[in-house]
Amino acid sequence: MSLVRVHNFSISLDGYGTGEGQSLDAPFGHAGGRLHSWFFGTRTFRRMQGEEGGSTGVDDAIARTWADGIGAEIMGRNKFGPQRGPWQDEDWRGWWGPNPPFHTPVFVLTHHPRPSVEMDGGTVFHFLDASPEEALRRAREAAGGLDVRIGGGPSSVRAFLAADLVDHLHVVVVPVLLGRGERLWDGLEGLEQRFRTEAVSSPSGVTHLTFTRP
Ligand SMILES: NC(=O)c1ccc[n+]([C@@H]2O[C@H](COP(=O)([O-])OP(=O)(O)OC[C@H]3O[C@@H](n4cnc5c(N)ncnc54)[C@H](OP(=O)(O)O)[C@@H]3O)[C@@H](O)[C@H]2O)c1
C-alpha cells in the first residue's frame, strides 16, 4: 500500500502552522516568511523556483525527500488560495504561477468544488468536497501506486492525523513564537504513541522531527 506522507511542515514553538489574517499579499498571514526562512536558502527550495544554487546542509538533506515517490498531493483550500466561501473568481490558479512545483495531480479539499484546472508541468488541480478517507482513496487512485503527500495547511494535516491516515510526518519546529494563527496539534493528545519519533537539530536553529509509523 502506498504511504501517506507530510514533509517540510513548519510550526512555531507554540505550535502554529500559519499566522492570522491570510490575504493575497500575505499567504501566511502575520507569520510572513518566519516559518519558512530555514527553507528558502536550501537548494531544494531554489530548484522548486527554477533557480540554481542554495545550501546543501542538514536542512536541504531532509527537505529534498519531499517529492521522492510522490504520485499525488492533497491540500486544503486555504493553502491553495486566500478565498473563503463560494468562489468569486474561478480564474484563481493558486500561488505558484503557471508551472507549480507539484507535477502530479493535486486534490484541493473544499466545500465549494469547481472544474479541474490543468497547469504546465503535470500539475492538475482537482477540487473535492470529501472526507479525508474519501479524498485519500481518490488521491491513491490518481497516484498510480506511488505515495500521497498531505501538503497542508495545519487544519488539513490535523484532520488526516486525527483520522490516523498519516504514515510519515516531518515537522520542522522553528524558534519563533507566533502567538496566534492555526495550530497543528490541537485534539491530537497522545499522538506520539502511534509513531517512532526522531529529532535532528540543524545549525539554522530549527529542529526536524519525524514521526514514522512503526
Ligand atoms: N506550515 C507549513 O509548512 C504550511 C504548509 C502548507 C500551508 N501552510 C499555510 O497554512 C495555511 C492554510 O492552512 P489552514 O489550516 O488555514 O487551511 P487548509 O488546511 O489549507 O484549508 C482548510 C479549508 O479547506 C477546506 N476543507 C478542509 N477539509 C475539507 C473537507 N474534508 N471537505 C471539504 N472542504 C474541506 C475548507 O475550506 P472551504 O470550506 O472554504 O471550502 C477549510 O476551511 C495557509 O496560510 C498556508 O500558506 C503552511
d(CA 159, CA 162): 5
Three state DSSP letters for 171-206: EEEECCCCCCCEECCCCCCCHHHHCEEEEEECCCCC
d(CA 2, CA 147): 5
Tell me how far the alpha carbon of residue 203 lies from the centroid of ligand 1, in angstroms: 30
- Establish whether residue 154 lines the binding site of ligand 1, counting it when its CB lies within 6 angstroms of any ligand atom: yes
- The residue to which cell 526522531 is assigned: 198
- Establish whether residue 81 lines the binding site of ligand 1, counting it when its CB lies within 6 angstroms of any ligand atom: no
Q: What is the pLDDT of residue 2?
A: 95
Q: What is the pLDDT of residue 73?
A: 98
Domains of the chain with bracketed CATH: 4-17+67-87+97-212 (3.40.430.10)
Q: What is the pLDDT of residue 174?
A: 98
- Rounded to two decimals, the pTM is 0.98
Between the alpha carbon of residue 124 and those of residues 59, 80, 166, 189, the distances in Å are: 29, 12, 23, 35
Give the position, in ligand 1's atom list, of the atom nearest the Cα of 184: 15
Q: What is the pLDDT of residue 89?
A: 86
Contact 126, 108 (CB under 8 A): yes
Residue closest by Cα to atom 29 of ligand 1: 109
Q: What is the pLDDT of residue 126?
A: 98
According to DSSP, residue 83 is labeled -
Other beta carbons within 10 angstroms of residue 29's beta carbon come to 19
- Establish whether residue 55 lines the binding site of ligand 1, counting it when its CB lies within 6 angstroms of any ligand atom: no
- Establish whether residue 156 lines the binding site of ligand 1, counting it when its CB lies within 6 angstroms of any ligand atom: yes
d(CA 152, CA 156): 6
Arithmetic mean of pLDDT over the chain: 97
**Low-confidence spans in the chain with pLDDT less than 70:** none
